[in-house]
Amino acid sequence: MNDKGKELYDVIKGKINSMKEEDSLERQYWNFWKLGCFLKTKAHDLKNVYEDTSREFVDKYKEQLIKMREQVLENLDYYVEKCINVMRKANNFKVHYAKTNKEAHHIFMEELGDNKVVYKSKSNEAKDIGIIDFLKKNDIIIKETDLGDVLVQLFDYKLPSFQVGPGAHFSIDDIVAKIKEMHGVELEPKPSAIVDYYRKTYRKELLNNVKVSLTSANAISAEDGTIVLGENEGNISLLTRATEKHIVVCGIQKIVPTVLDAVLVAKIQSRINNVPFNYINLISGPSSTSDIRGINVLGMYGAKEVVIILVDEWRTKAIKENLFYKDYLKCISCRTCNFVCTAARAFGNIFASKYGWGATAILTDYIHNGIEAAVQDGLFFCTNCENCYHWCPVSINIGEIMKSIKKEAKKAGLCPPPLKEYQQKILKDKNPFK
């Protein structure tokens, strides 16, 4: 292990120690996460009224989903071109194709113009593409709208949070205390009182003040250029309608052949997470009317402009050069591999990167920032149990990908010392514990 490896090893040890401190944020998160995993495995379908369990639902469509994702990736150029054409010609979308994240950042700034505030919904893709960091650096105010993210922003919580239900680990008492501190309003310590407060105040702002909104897409149909966005709160519905300009930022791998495929992706994300998508938005153009003598005018009540920024960055290269992580392009971003991940269950949100938590976030960090970033995120916490592979609705073997990254780390002299000792014992005695 070289000096850099030792430095990274100390960072990891520091993270583990902070998780052990009773009152630390890492500990609070971990305690809640353990409960979440327990509920997920013991009673995760109790609330559903469907005839099948979520797993049965996923298994019923798994083969179809895998075939569809493979078909797209084998013909990615074709689908990207087809999708862009139809979005421009039939849907009146303004479409940008950004070869790199950097290009996407500049396009976004141009689209923003003089606006200094962006309202966004949960968008892992915008984070992956680095838009959020870039906007912050340029003093653009980002306003979260999903209630969980609003709370995370209110607490200025820096660690990665849950992708579904961010902020769920804050206690009700802490939330009302924080609202009192930040907004001077005293609320009853009840979830309904907190929701009611935001409904009465923030909803008004979302209906009246949004000039530019940012979302990603759960999937985009190449057949007709429809953007599919699933949600349960209604914030995405407001953001995509009560705005002047709706900007969609996502990677090209979000493209699927048909609108039914896109809805299938959204349904699988909803069922596998066991959260309802009360709304599935299908957006096929800016708001318009032809009610005055049949002349089409854009911008009636909904968004006047819909701008799509499709980003390539590493994606085409991964396919063309057959990179070992190219299978990750099949990912539908359900993020549920965390529920079954040995490392995520043991280490909560310290098995994480700035892109989120869990193995997929660490892989994203590796792709964008290289091997040292992945080691610092806790790469070696992964036990290669392959639970992720067996769980994944598109059968991506994230464990195998992590193994390849570990090999690279080992070559770079970044392998933690205890593992080195195990390796030497195995080689010498054929037994790591002797």
- Cα angle vertex 376, ends 319, 387, to 5°? 60
Instruction: Please state the closest distance from residue 381 (CB atom) to ligand SF4, in A.
Output: 7
d(CA 352, CA 373): 10
Residues 360, 335: contact at Cβ < 8 Å? yes
- Contact flags string 99-118 toward ligand SF4, x per CB under 6 A: --------------------
Return the closest-CA partner of residue 315 out of 303, 329, 302.
Answer: 329
Give the type of residue at 162: F
How many CA atoms are closer than 13 Å to the CA of 206, on its beta-carbon side? 26
Instruction: Please state the closest distance from residue 382 (CB atom) to ligand SF4, in A.
Output: 3
Residues 384, 402: contact at Cβ < 8 Å? yes
Instruction: Please state the closest distance from residue 112 (CB atom) to ligand SF4, in A.
Output: 30
Interacting residue with ligand SF4 among 311, 359, 409, 415 (CB under 6 A): 359
Pick 176 or 382: Cβ nearer ligand SF4: 382
34 φ, ψ to 5°?
-60, -40
Beta strands per DSSP E along 198-303: 212-215, 219-221, 227-231, 245-251, 255-256, 279-283, 288-292, 295-298
Q: Does 342 contact ligand SF4 by CB under 6 A?
A: yes
Which residue has its beta carbon closest to ligand SF4? 399
Interacting residue with ligand SF4 among 213, 253, 274, 336 (CB under 6 A): 336
Residues 225, 234: contact at Cβ < 8 Å? no
Interacting residue with ligand SF4 among 246, 335, 406, 410 (CB under 6 A): 335
- Contact flags string 396-425 toward ligand SF4, x per CB under 6 A: x-xx--x-----------------------
State the alpha helices, DSSP H only, in 94-171.
101-112, 124-128, 131-137, 147-155
Instruction: Please state the closest distance from residue 19 (CB atom) to ligand SF4, in A.
Output: 17
d(CA 421, CA 254): 43
Q: Does 318 contact ligand SF4 by CB under 6 A?
A: no
Return the closest-CA partner of residue 397 out of 106, 66, 14, 169.
Answer: 66
Count interface residues toward ligand SF4 (CB under 6 A). 27
Pick 92 or 124: Cβ nearer ligand SF4: 124
Pick 306 or 371: Cβ nearer ligand SF4: 371
d(CA 214, CA 142): 9
Interacting residue with ligand SF4 among 240, 273, 281, 360 (CB under 6 A): 360
Residues 335, 164: contact at Cβ < 8 Å? yes
Pick 93 or 339: Cβ nearer ligand SF4: 339
Interacting residue with ligand SF4 among 131, 228, 236, 392 (CB under 6 A): 392
Interacting residue with ligand SF4 among 218, 333, 353, 376 (CB under 6 A): 333
Copy the structure tokens of residue 50.
């469907």
Q: Is the CA virtual torsion 206, 163, 280, 92 positive or negative? A: positive
Return the closest-CA partner of residue 217 out of 259, 243, 249, 181.
Answer: 249
Pick 151 or 220: Cβ nearer ligand SF4: 220
Burial of 110 (0-12, 13-18, 19+ CB in 10 A): exposed
The residue range among 51-59, 150-158, 307-315, 339-347 that interacts with ligand SF4, by the rule CB under 6 A, is 339-347
Interacting residue with ligand SF4 among 152, 343, 350, 371 (CB under 6 A): 343
227 φ, ψ to 5°?
-95, 130
Q: Does 350 contact ligand SF4 by CB under 6 A?
A: no
Footprint on residues 371-390 left by ligand SF4 (CB under 6 A): 382-388
Instruction: Please state the closest distance from residue 36 (CB atom) to ligand SF4, in A.
Output: 16
Residues within the interface to ligand SF4 (CB under 6 A):
331-337, 341-343, 359-360, 382-388, 391-394, 396, 398-399, 402
